[in-house]
Amino acid sequence: MTETHLDHVVLWVSDPLASVEFYEKTVGLTGVRAAEFADGKAPFPSVRVSAGSLLDLAPLTMAGSMNAIPGAEGTAGHPVNHVCLALGKQAFEALHARLEDSGVVVSPYSHNSFGARGAAPRSFYFRDPDGNIIEARHYDE
């Protein structure tokens, strides 16, 4: 690999398996290691965003034992403002419809907000079951 890319983002969740279900059924991502987590063989499950990136769904109960920087007690569980998922236009529209059908509150559309690939024609925000804020956007392609 010669290009730097985002490998994973860790989200703190109260019920990792319920979170996997939400991200699979409502958001449309694929679960990773859910069965291993359920069997006690993995510390947390994940969902795949793309071939090279994951959202790790770490149990909030682990926060006390996970300090990412030695000597920086209390850093585990530090909140993240939001995570953004870029989708194709049809997938973006399908996600918006699934969220609304599931009763998930979505924000009004934003227009021309800046991201990794420039200005996105539309984006919106929603919360997962643990209150993590997720942005969805599409680019002209």
In our burial notation (b when 16+ CB lie closer than 10 A, e otherwise), range 30-68 reads: ebbbbeebeeeeeebbbbebeeeebbbbbbeeeeeeeee
Higher pLDDT, 121 or 73: 121
Q: What is the pLDDT of residues 58-67, one digit of tens each?
A: 998 887 776 6
Full-model pTM: 0.85
Q: Which of 11, 70, 73, 93 is nearest to 45 (CA)?
A: 11
Q: Is 23 exposed, middle or buried (0-12, 13-18, 19+ CB in 10 A)?
A: buried
Q: What is the pLDDT of residue 79?
A: 73
Q: What is the pLDDT of residue 62?
A: 84
Contacts of 117 (CB under 8 A, 6+ apart): 86, 139
Mean pLDDT of the residues in the chain: 90
Q: What is the pLDDT of residue 141?
A: 63
pLDDT higher than threshold 60 for residue 116: yes
